[in-house]
């Protein structure tokens, strides 16, 4: 699988839509249209600040019917490893970024009779394209969107204005909290629920759905992680007989890429399975959602986008 | 630019079976065996463009049989409209496929096809079939039939549109008029494993688990392909169970004198494309037929064909419906394999 970026794009709009979220629109520098994409798709954005390169996944938020532009919304994560910081501080109108083809790990369940969306904070982003598609296909949908305060509710006003009957806004600063028991109760047969937001909110919603007897197959959540920093370690490459140091702030995948080793990837968040790599020696701290428990226990493979060595070394079969 | 010498008068795939391959078509035939022994495998590769003149030169191959095959499709659908079937959640997939086929055809064969877009107002022209259609992309009422039916009546090969959900692929729309003995009204809505249920041996080998995992990860702009094969008596495209009474008995008609003319190798070039708007998949099954006589004009193919037939696993032989005439075929082919 090719890991190269498909296009170079230029930022044509950059708006601070909330104190923490910046909304970017961009077009291809060659003037051609982007590919159409499906609701819930993400793209990998490549940034280079001169000393470090970042490749981060972001949900597309624009209309899936305007291919001249793609849009993303980036939440500033000041504790992260710098990608969102770079997007906020260094990327402006006219800046160029690299972009990969859209990929979807959070697709709409097409045969559902009703689509029930539960969003928290920046978790609204995949639902922007969901709602666009559902409007287009005249599907039955409902959105429950929790935000800290109105100021921090990205797209909240435009969604409420456009879909007053389908959009329910919960402003926590005003003491209005989403009650998942009520939301999930009494939904018609054939409803599918989609959850995207902070980890605790997703976990709560999934737990309550489970307690209420929702079928697992009717409950969907976007499970993306950002790579977390960890202890530095050394990785040995058995086939090419090389040794590479993985710094504490970089992922194993990034360290390999920085050493010009191409590993296929898509989500860079432990979900898609593309970057699975065989391990010959060394203990692994698995952080992904992709490998089965048996695969994790075997210690014979790793998802380098997100998982690391437990000790000070790993040997890979590449 | 690709030029195609469309066969005229139209060839038939039934009754008098006037179908035949030109020298050029024989030369570009997708001979499917990499080894002397055939066994199931996850034999997939990227669907990248091949050499000029080869069947892989273009994304979708349009060849000399185009007009004849489209007429055959029309005949089958007239007799049995259920060969095109679709479920209600497949509208986006259908428009995806219409766009993919129209754009590929117009790009690869500008002499024969053109597509003009003004926003959602599209004009499609198919010169070989004498079609000019103005329509609104996304608005079914502006086409004479379902979007996928419309475009696959103008494209060689069978097509299945799969919806991806629950980490599985469901066959939820299909245009199947040249099935190698499987029924689309029966298989409609089936998951990947259900659909492949009847295939012998491969399940135990884990072929389908690996194939499904691979297919689920196919990305936009990176289609893949594989070859599949069987044998068919006469140049009959429509060997579906619905019309078994028309062709099943023909397996008993094989004699040493008519093997070369009657037995055809039937190769499916199967392609898989991620569909952009629906996140579904297009499964294209492009069928190529060649008589044993024509195939054996190539000595390497003839020798390998003999060995593959000779070494064929009995269960695969049964599944492909070859058992009844296997000995006769092997005997005839042995003349090409004297080593």
Query: Where do the domains of chain A lie, and which CATH numbers do they carry?
Result: 7-104 (2.40.30.10), 114-221 (3.40.50.80), 233-316 (3.10.20.30)
Which residues of chain B does A111 touch, with a Cβ-Cβ cutoff of 8 Å? 87, 89, 163, 165
Question: Mean pLDDT throughout B163-169?
Answer: 93
Q: Report how far residue A283's alpha carbon sits from residue A270's, in angstroms, rounded to the nearest whole number.
A: 18
pTM of the model: 0.89
Q: Cα-flanking dihedrals φ and ψ of residue B231, to 5°?
A: -120, 145
Look at strands A219-221 and A191-196 and give their pairing: parallel
Mean pLDDT over the full length of chain B: 94
- How far apart are alpha carbons B183 and B145 in whole angstroms? 22
Q: What pLDDT, on a 0 to 100 scale, did the predictor assign at position A3?
A: 46
How large a percentage of chain B has pLDDT more than 70? 100
Instruction: Tell which wins on pLDDT, B53 or B196.
Output: B53
Q: Which band of pLDDT confidence, cut at 50, 70 and 90, is reported for residue A223?
A: low
Helix (H) or strand (E) holding B208: helix B207-216
Q: Chain B: nearest CA to A151, how far in angstroms?
A: 32
Residue A254 is encoded by which pair of tokens? 């990034």
Is pLDDT of A306 > 80?
A: yes
Q: Poorest-confidence range of A61-75, A221-235, B125-139, B214-228?
A: A221-235
Give the model's pLDDT for residue A300.
95
Q: Check if the beta carbon of residue B120 is closer than 8 Å to that of residue B103.
A: no
Residue B258 has pLDDT above 80, yes or no: yes
Nearest to A102 by CA among A62, A155, A154: A62
The ipTM, to two decimals, is 0.86
pLDDT tier at B283, thresholds 50, 70, 90: very high
Catalytic residue among B14, B28, B226, B307: B226
Active site residue B236: no
Which member of B217, B220, B278 has the closest CB to residue A102? B220
The pLDDT value given to residue A211: 96
Contact flag B219-A266 (C-beta cutoff 8 Å): yes
Higher pLDDT, A307 or A226: A307
pLDDT for position B1 = 65
Q: Which strands sit side by side in the sheet containing B84-86, from one edge to the other?
A: B45-46, B224-233, B263-274, B281-291, B158-165, B168-175, B84-86
| Poorest-pLDDT segment among A287-296, B108-117, B149-158, B184-193 | A287-296
Minimum mean pLDDT among A33-37, A141-145, B298-302: which range? A33-37
Residue B102 clears pLDDT 70, i.e. is over it: yes
Tell me the average pLDDT across A65-86.
Answer: 84
pLDDT at residue number B176: 97
Cβ atoms of B127 and B112 within 8 Å: the answer is yes
- Contact list, A36 vs chain B (CB under 8 Å): 96, 99, 276-277
Closest residue in A to B280 (Cα) is A38
Separation in Å, CA of A293 to nearest CA in chain B: 17
Query: What residues pair up with B229 in beta bridges, in sequence order?
Result: B267
What was the pLDDT predicted at A4? 57
More confident residue, B236 or A85: B236
For A275, the closest chain B residue by CA position comes to B217
A87 contacts A14 by C-beta, under 8 angstroms: no
Is residue A219 scored above 50 in pLDDT?
A: yes
Tell me: the pLDDT tens digits for A159-206?
999 999 999 999 999 889 999 999 999 899 999 999 999 889 999 999
Closest in A1, A109, A217 to B219, CB measured: A1
Tens of pLDDT along A143-157? 999 999 888 888 999
Q: What is the pLDDT, as a whole number, of residue A1?
A: 35
Yes or no, beta carbons of A38 and B278 under 8 Å apart: yes
Rounded to an integer, the average pLDDT of A235-244 is: 93
| Cross-chain Cβ contact A38/B217 below 8 Å | no
Name chain A contacts of B221, Cβ cutoff 8 Å.
6, 35, 101
Q: Which has the minimum average pLDDT: A141-145, B77-81, B212-216?
A: B212-216
Contact (CB<8Å) B92/A133: yes
DSSP B191: B
The residue of chain A nearest to residue B219, with distances taken between CA atoms, is A103
CB contact under 8 A, B220 and A217: no
For residue A220, what is the DSSP state? Answer: E
User: At residue A53, what are phi and psi to the nearest 5 degrees?
Assistant: -110, 145
* Residue A47 or residue A37, greater confidence: A37
Asked if residue A2 has pLDDT above 60, the reply is no
Mutation target to probe the B interface, by most B beta carbons within 10 A, among A66, A110, A133, A291 is A110
Question: What is the structure's pLDDT at A208?
Answer: 97
- Cross-chain Cβ contact A111/B165 below 8 Å: yes
Q: What residues of A are in contact with residue B278 (Cβ under 8 Å)? A: 38, 110
pLDDT of residue A268: 82
Tokens of A138: 């005249």
Mean pLDDT of B268-297: 97
Cβ-defined contact of A1 to B222 (cutoff 8 Å): yes
Query: How far B95 CA lies from chain A's nearest CA (Å)?
Result: 11
CA distance A41 to chain B (A): 9
Residues of chain A contacting B, Cβ within 8 Å:
1-2, 6, 35-38, 40-41, 64, 101-104, 107-111, 133, 136-137, 217, 266, 272-274
| Mean pLDDT within A234-243 | 94
CB contact under 8 A, A137 and B91: yes
Alpha carbon distances (Å) from B120 to A289, B100, B134, B142, B338: 40, 15, 10, 11, 62
Smallest Cβ–Cβ distance between B166 and the set A64, A137, A217 belongs to A217
The structure tokens 């990947």 sit at B192
Share of chain B above pLDDT 90, in %: 86
């Amino acid at each position: 699988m090719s890991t190269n970026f498909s296009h170079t794009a230029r930022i044509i709009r950059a708006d601070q839509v909330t104190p923490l979220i910046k909304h970017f629109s961009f077009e291809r520098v060659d003037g051609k249209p982007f590919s159409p994409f499906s609701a819930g798709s993400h793209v990998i954005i490549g940034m280079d600040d001169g000393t470090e390169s970042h490749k981060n996944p972001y949900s597309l938020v624009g209309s899936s019917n305007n291919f001249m532009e793609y849009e993303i919304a980036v939440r500033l994560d000041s504790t992260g490893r710098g990608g969102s910081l770079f997007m906020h501080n260094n990327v402006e109108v006219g800046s160029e970024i690299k972009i990969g083809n859209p990929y979807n790990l959070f697709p709409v369940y097409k045969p559902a009779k009703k689509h029930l969306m539960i969003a928290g904070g920046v978790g609204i982003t995949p639902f922007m394209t969901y709602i666009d598609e559902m409007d287009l296909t005249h599907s039955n949908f409902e959105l429950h969107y929790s935000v800290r305060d109105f100021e921090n509710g990205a797209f909240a006003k435009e969604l409420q204005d456009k879909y007053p009957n389908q959009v329910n806004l919960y402003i926590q600063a005003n003491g209005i909290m989403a009650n998942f028991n009520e939301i999930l109760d009494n939904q018609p047969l054939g409803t599918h629920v989609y959850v995207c937001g902070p980890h605790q909110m997703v976990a709560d919603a999934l737990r309550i759905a489970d307690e209420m007897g929702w079928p697992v197959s009717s409950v969907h959540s976007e499970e993306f992680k950002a790579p977390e920093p960890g202890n530095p370690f050394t990785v040995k490459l058995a086939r090419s007989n090389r040794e590479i140091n993985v710094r504490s702030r970089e992922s194993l995948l990034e360290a390999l890429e920085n050493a010009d080793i191409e590993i296929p990837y898509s989500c860079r968040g432990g979900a898609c399975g593309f970057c699975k790599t065989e391990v010959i020696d060394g203990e692994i701290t698995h952080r992904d959602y992709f490998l089965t428990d048996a695969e994790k226990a075997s210690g014979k493979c790793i998802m380098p986008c997100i998982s690391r060595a437990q000790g000070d070394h790993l040997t890979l079969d590449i | 630019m690709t030029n195609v010498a469309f066969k005229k008068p139209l060839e038939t795939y039934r009754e008098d079976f006037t179908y035949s391959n030109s020298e050029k078509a024989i030369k570009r035939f997708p001979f499917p065996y990499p080894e002397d022994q055939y066994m199931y495998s996850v034999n997939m590769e990227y669907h990248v463009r091949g050499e000029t003149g080869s069947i892989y030169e273009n994304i979708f191959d349009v060849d000399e049989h185009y007009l004849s095959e489209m007429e055959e499709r029309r005949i089958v659908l007239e007799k049995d409209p259920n060969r095109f079937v679709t479920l209600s959640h497949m509208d986006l997939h259908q428009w995806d496929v219409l766009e993919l086929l129209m754009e590929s055809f117009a790009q690869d064969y500008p002499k024969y096809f053109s597509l003009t877009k003004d926003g959602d107002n599209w004009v499609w022209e198919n010169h070989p079939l004498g079609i000019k259609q103005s329509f609104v992309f996304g608005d079914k009422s502006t086409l004479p039939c379902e979007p996928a039916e419309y475009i696959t009546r103008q494209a060689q090969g069978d097509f299945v549109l799969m919806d991806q959900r629950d980490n599985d692929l469901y066959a939820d729309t299909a245009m199947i008029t040249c099935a190698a003995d499987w029924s689309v009204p029966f298989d409609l809505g089936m998951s990947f494993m259900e659909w492949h249920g009847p295939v012998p041996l491969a399940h135990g080998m884990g072929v389908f688990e690996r194939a499904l995992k691979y297919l689920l990860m196919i990305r936009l702009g990176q289609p893949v392909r594989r070859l599949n094969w069987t044998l068919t008596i006469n140049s009959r495209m429509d060997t579906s169970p619905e019309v078994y009474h028309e062709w099943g008995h023909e397996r008993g008609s094989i004699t040493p004198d008519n093997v070369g003319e009657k037995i055809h190798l039937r190769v499916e070039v199967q392609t898989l494309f991620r569909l952009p708007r629906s996140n579904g998949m297009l499964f294209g099954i492009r069928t190529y037929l060649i008589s044993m006589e024509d195939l054996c004009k190539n000595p390497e193919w003839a020798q390998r064909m003999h060995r593959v037939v000779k070494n064929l696993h009995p269960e695969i032989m049964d599944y492909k419906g070859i058992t009844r005439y296997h000995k006769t075929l092997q005997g005839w082919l042995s003349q090409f394999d004297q080593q």
